[in-house]
């Protein structure tokens, strides 16, 4: 496992859990608003954690945590991800949340069917027609992402979809297309872009709360459980 970060405690990243967060290295997207710029652009200068480091940390704080989040960049790029998840299962009693961009549906399915994860959060970057604009990939396999969406919609495991909204990158038509695509999803969150110095391209802006509420209204007929996350009213 290529592990480049560890956040010891989070009350926000895993619903209803006190969790530790493991950040893997390597991503096949270059989303301009990504707030993990150092992981994407300066990985070679970052300290690497061993699996032993992570397991030791989790055991020391076992009385505090009831969950762990595997995030990154993109965890499903790690060829030994499943083995890592199995080690967490073997050595802890923690619930495991996996964050993913959905580009490796076979890995997601294997993790679920092997009971190695308890919750999945998948990013929906944009509507299918505009996905490449956010992912910034020279070649984008939208069918792989669609396969991951379809699999999660089958309700094999608790999950959520989520979309980061930049004011300049979304229009109402995009939100409508996303709603139609993931219709019936058990959970979908719109979260505003956060302006920080850590993003890859700090040229975008957060949408207004009014815009987010209008987007939510567009989604309601298709995703009744859609909600806003990370807003200050």
The pLDDT, as a whole number, for residue 39 is 65
The phi and psi torsions of 99 (rounded to 5 degrees) equal -95, 140
Number of domains forming the structure of the chain: 1
Cβ neighbours of residue 61 closer than 8 Å, sequence gap 6 or more: 8, 9, 20
| Owning domain of residue 107 | 3-167
Convert the pLDDT of each residue in 46-93 to its tens digit. 789 999 999 999 999 989 999 999 998 899 999 999 999 999 999 999
Contact 161, 182 (CB under 8 A): yes
The pLDDT, as a whole number, for residue 45 is 62
Give a yes or no: residue 66 inside a domain.
yes
The pLDDT, as a whole number, for residue 233 is 58
Closest Cα partner for 93 from 120, 49, 61? 61
Two tokens, residue 136: 């910034």
The pLDDT, as a whole number, for residue 113 is 98
Give a yes or no: residue 202 inside a domain.
no
Give a yes or no: residue 205 inside a domain.
no
Give the CATH number for residue 20.
3.20.20.70
The phi and psi torsions of 155 (rounded to 5 degrees) equal 65, 45
Contact 176, 130 (CB under 8 A): no
Mean pLDDT by 10 residues, the chain (233 residues): 93 96 91 75 74 95 95 94 98 97 98 98 97 88 97 98 96 98 98 81 88 98 96 71
Taking the alpha carbons of 207, 211, 213, 218 in that order, is the dihedral positive or negative?
negative
The pLDDT, as a whole number, for residue 32 is 86
Element (H, E) at 95: strand 95-100
The pLDDT, as a whole number, for residue 41 is 58
The pLDDT, as a whole number, for residue 36 is 74
The pLDDT, as a whole number, for residue 146 is 98
State how far the Cα of 206 lies from the Cα of 165, in Å rounded to an integer. Answer: 7
Label residues 153-163 b or e (16+ Cβ within 10 Å = b): beeebbbbbbb
Give a yes or no: residue 178 inside a domain.
no
Give a yes or no: residue 229 inside a domain.
no
Give a yes or no: residue 226 inside a domain.
no
Give a yes or no: residue 220 inside a domain.
no
The pLDDT, as a whole number, for residue 52 is 96
Quickly tell me which residue has 């790029």 as its tokens.
Answer: 77
Element (H, E) at 219: helix 209-219
Two tokens, residue 69: 């989040």
Give a yes or no: residue 8 inside a domain.
yes
């Amino acid at each position: 496992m290529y592990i480049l970060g560890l956040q010891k405690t989070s009350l926000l990243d895993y619903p209803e859990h006190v969790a530790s967060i493991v950040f893997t290295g390597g991503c096949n997207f270059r989303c301009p608003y990504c707030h993990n710029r150092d992981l994407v652009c300066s990985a070679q200068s970052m300290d690497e954690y061993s699996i032993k480091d992570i397991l030791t940390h989790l055991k020391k704080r076992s009385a505090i945590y009831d969950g762990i989040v595997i995030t990154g960049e993109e965890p499903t790029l790690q060829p030994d991800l499943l083995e890592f998840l199995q080690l967490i299962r073997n050595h802890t009693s923690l619930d495991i949340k996996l964050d993913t961009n959905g580009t490796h549906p076979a890995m997601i399915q294997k993790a679920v069917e092997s009971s190695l994860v308890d919750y999945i959060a998948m990013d929906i970057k944009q509507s299918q027609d505009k996905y490449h604009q956010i992912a910034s990939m020279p070649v984008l396999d939208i069918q792989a992402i669609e396969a991951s969406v379809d699999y999660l919609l089958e309700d094999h495991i608790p999950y959520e979809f989520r979309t980061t909204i930049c004011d300049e990158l979304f229009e109402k038509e995009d939100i409508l297309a996303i709603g139609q695509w993931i219709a019936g999803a058990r959970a979908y969150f719109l979260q505003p872009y956060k302006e920080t110095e850590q993003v890859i391209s700090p040229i975008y802006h957060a949408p207004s709360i009014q815009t987010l509420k209008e987007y939510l209204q567009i989604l309601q007929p298709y995703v009744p459980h859609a909600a806003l996350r990370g807003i200050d009213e």
